[in-house]
Amino acid sequence: MTKMLASVNSVEEALLVLHENVDIIDLKQPASGALGALNINVIQSIVAIIAKRRPVSATIGDLPMQAQLVFNAVQTMSETGVDYIKIGFFPDNNWQATIDKLALLTQKKLALIAVLFADGQPNLNVIPVLKHAGFTGVMLDTMDKKQGSLNQLMASNAIQHFVTSAKNQQLLCGLAGSLTLNDIPELLIHQPDYLGFRGALCEQRDRTGQLSRQSIKLIKQAIA
């Protein structure tokens, strides 16, 4: 059964989506990029107030694929107590060094989620490599939120290949990327573990704007 991930950027938003029974609360700052990092103090406050009532994930920011830089950011984020740490795998010639470095942290039982970008033409052969390195899950997202939704940037058979590859490796699997209410039926066919939303939950569909309770309800009902 596919569940709902909602991205929030404040304690108030986290409590709102908790009240609306979203399945996972994702912490990021949309104004700072595709996977903009939220202030560490805010993350700690949200983790404390959610108090394990829902799983909480957080992004480390739009960082270049420099192994030590990413490693340090993940290590810092792990100290906040979030359940999952999301790492954007941006286009680069050498992901392997970063994956190898992060394997040192998965050995400490940190739950890492790799985020691949549909508009970055990701090599899905990396999925078994991520599993071997101890990653917990993988998501498919988009970098440029102005270019349309995931459905518009990647063919349905390619999305299905991603989901199948992740499940074959027993990795948690999520789909995101400017998703709208209308995208849900087509994506549910692929049976991902999660669908992730931000813009569609906001007033005027502005991902940097305030969340709309009614929009959250509509998305939740459509997935259910």
Give the end-to-end CA distance of the chain in Å, rounded to a whole number: 9
Rounded CA gap, 9 and 18, in Å? 13
The CA-atom distances, in angstroms, between 220 and each of 17, 21, 57, 184, 201 are 10, 8, 18, 10, 10
Query: Which H, E and C letters describe the chain, residue by residue?
Result: CCEEEEEECCHHHHHHHHHCCCCEEEECCHHHCCCCCCCHHHHHHHHHHHCCCCCEEEECCCCCCCHHHHHHHHHHHHCCCCCEEEEECCCCCCCHHHHHHHHHHHCCCCCEEEEEEHHHCCCCCHHHHHHHCCCCEEEEECCCCCCCCHHHHCCHHHHHHHHHHHHHCCCEEEECCCCCHHHHHHHHCCCCCEEEECHHHEHHHCCCCCECHHHHHHHHHHHC
Residues annotated as catalytic (active site), given as ranges: 28, 86
